[in-house]
Amino acid sequence: MNRQKKFIILSVLILVAALLAFHAVSIFGGDFIDHGGDWGGGGGDYSGGSDYNDYSSGSWDSSGGGDGISGPSAIVIIILVIVFVVFSAIRKNKFGNASPTNTYSTTPLQMSDTSSVNIQSINNLKQTDPTFSEAAMLSKVENLFTTMQLAWCNQDYEPVRPFLSNALYEQQAKQIADKITRDEKNVSSNIAVLQSKLESFSTDGHTEFLNIWLRVKLKDYIVKKSNPSQIITGSPDRTYYLDFRWQMTRSAGGKTVAETDAVKTGECPSCGANININQSGKCEYCGTVISTTEYDWVLSKIDGLQQRSR
């Protein structure tokens, strides 16, 4: 029976009780019920000769001659009792039978907005490079984040080398080497980019800088490389939410080629062949890994802005 039906039934009971009380008054001429003597029989008082509870100067004294409670007072008392019962039943139904709520799992994770967007600077980029695509750039960065995280777990950064500046690649490669020395490796899963947006664009005349903001989530923990079942730190069940600022760089004056989403045609510094820098970042003729800064955007800096977990 739902709460609404219970409330209707209890309301009807109150009405019926009130009508019965009113009917009793009309039958007995004003006295609720007068037994002609003390309550309880045996010639004794209602409560063994003592006051029931002297709330107002003996008005509830039961040691008198056996008069009953007057009609109107009885009606009021009955209605008050029934109202109390109804209220208690409703309160019990509201609070006693409610399903417990797991606030931990339903409360949204609170994260502040750590982005800093300069729309005018982004418009300047689009004016100087008309074929630049914001959607294509964000898609490339989101895919790169996932690829880099997997490369980090595999402890092999060669697949992402063409998309990193030389300095950042060397830094990351050294950190991977240190982990291998310590017999450690990361295990990541549920990797996802939740949000991304262009923040700002600037140039110093030699290099162009494009800042991109990312909000990501993943599960990540560290295990012993020689025995992956042995967890060193972290938990497979904990999810991390992180904000990053990625700085992408390229040589000043670069122009996006819409057909290939590369920047421009150049020459391989190894074999001299005309090349179009593609997703592999390698010369299609000799296989030399080319630093794409001169031809395309590369990731040169990563700043962590915020981290939450649960």
The pLDDT tens digits for 144-172 are 999 999 999 999 988 888 889 989 999 99
Q: What is the pTM of this model?
A: 0.60
The encoded tokens of residue 29 equal 């001429």
Residue 161: predicted pLDDT = 87
Whether residue 106 lies inside any domain: the answer is: no
Residue 210 · residue 125 · CB < 8 Å: yes
The pLDDT tens digits for 243-270 are 999 999 999 988 887 655 544 445 666 6
Whether residue 296 lies inside any domain: the answer is: yes
Provide the mean pLDDT of the chain. 74
H-helix or E-strand spanning residue 223: strand 207-224
Whether 79 and 136 map to the same domain: the answer is: no
Whether 124 and 84 map to the same domain: the answer is: no
Most confident stretch, 43-57, 103-117, 131-145: 131-145
Whether 171 and 288 map to the same domain: the answer is: yes
Whether residue 219 lies inside any domain: the answer is: yes
Domain that holds residue 126: 118-309
State the average pLDDT over residues 224-238.
96
In sequence order, the 6+-apart residues with CB closer than 8 A to the CB of 303 are 244, 245, 246, 247
Number of domains in the chain: 2
Whether 142 and 85 map to the same domain: the answer is: no
Taking residue 110's Cβ as centre, other Cβ atoms within 10 Å add up to: 6
CATH code at 249?
Answer: 3.10.450.240
